[in-house]
Amino acid sequence: MDLATLKANGIVRTQTARPPVRAVFPFGLSQTGVHELAEARFGDMPALTGFALAARSEGQNRGRAGAILWVTQAGLGMEHGLVPDGALRTFSPHHTPRLVVRPGKLADALWTIEEAIASSAVSLVVAEISGADFTATRRLALASGRHGVPVVLLMPYGREGATAAEARWRIAPRPSAPNRYDSRAPGAPRWHVVLERSRTAPHLAGRSFDLEWNDETLSLTVVPGLAAGQVTPPAPPRRGPSDASGIRRAS
């Protein structure tokens, strides 16, 4: 049989390939595939959460409709608190419904993520989980690629080892930017970000970035002085969305 006959009989189906992700920041984060965000050290989960929300707005896939599914493994919720809806509005002008699931065990959390992807009823899955082996991340990556639902995994500082994720990011907070109106008030949030692994941009693996959130353009920008390695005078501590308790609250 020729190809046309095979297609006519339903034996061969034509599929549209997913368009390649450009090697442009944030390299598909919150747009496609599975991405891991890990703490640089214990206690960085609020900064990690803030960066995840900022990156979602930076690379927001407005073509897909649906709620965000936020999965929080019970133990992590008790350690770091929960994310209020107001934190989502801080980083995005678009109101997107959020569904929250709090499974007790890692296996239940992974099952929830995979089922949500397969349902195609959500536009994004954000999951706070204690870990995932290569097999688990491979299952999630295949499901994400098949159904087109991106996944962001928020993971503790001990996260290491092999992964099938598109990228692994290591996040730490930085003092917020100076406030132009009040030197004693926090300014724009900043993060120190290391791209540990990347399938989309493997040549950038190991590179670090100092990033700042611009609430006017709703985008992340590189901090020029810090990015160039210039020495800047130490600033007094300022608490802002990158390291403040406003991103998370007690469970």
Q: What is the pLDDT of residues 157-207, one digit of tens each?
A: 999 999 999 999 999 999 999 888 898 898 889 999 999 998 888 888 888
Q: What is the pLDDT of residues 218-235, one digit of tens each?
A: 788 888 755 434 333 334
* Max avg pLDDT among 102-106, 119-123, 200-204, 229-233: 102-106
Comparison of pLDDT for 251 and 131, the residue scoring more: 131
* Max avg pLDDT among 82-86, 142-146, 214-218: 142-146
At 201 the pLDDT is 82
At 20 the pLDDT is 43
CB 187 within 8 Å of CB 208: no
At 232 the pLDDT is 38
DSSP secondary structure code for residue 21 in this structure = P
Question: Of 3.40.50.300, 3.90.580.10, 3.40.50.880, 3.40.50.620, which CATH number belongs to 24-226+235-245?
Answer: 3.40.50.300
At 79 the pLDDT is 83
Comparison of pLDDT for 1 and 159, the residue scoring more: 159
pLDDT band at 110 (very low <50, low <70, confident <90, very high): very high
Neighbour count for residue 52 (Cβ, 10 Å)? 23
At 118 the pLDDT is 93
Boundaries of every domain in the chain = 24-226+235-245
Q: Is the pLDDT of residue 145 over 70?
A: yes
Question: How far apart are alpha carbons 246 and 239 in whole angstroms?
Answer: 10
At 249 the pLDDT is 62
Q: What is the pTM of this model?
A: 0.77
Q: What is the pLDDT of residues 14-73, one digit of tens each?
A: 444 444 444 466 666 767 889 999 999 999 999 999 998 888 776 554 456 678 899 999
Question: What's CA 156's distance to the chain center, in Å?
Answer: 13
Instruction: Please compute the mean of the pLDDT values over residues 73-85 and round it to a whole number.
Output: 83
CB 239 within 8 Å of CB 65: no
At 243 the pLDDT is 45
Question: How far apart are alpha carbons 208 and 149 in whole angstroms?
Answer: 27
DSSP secondary structure code for residue 116 in this structure = H
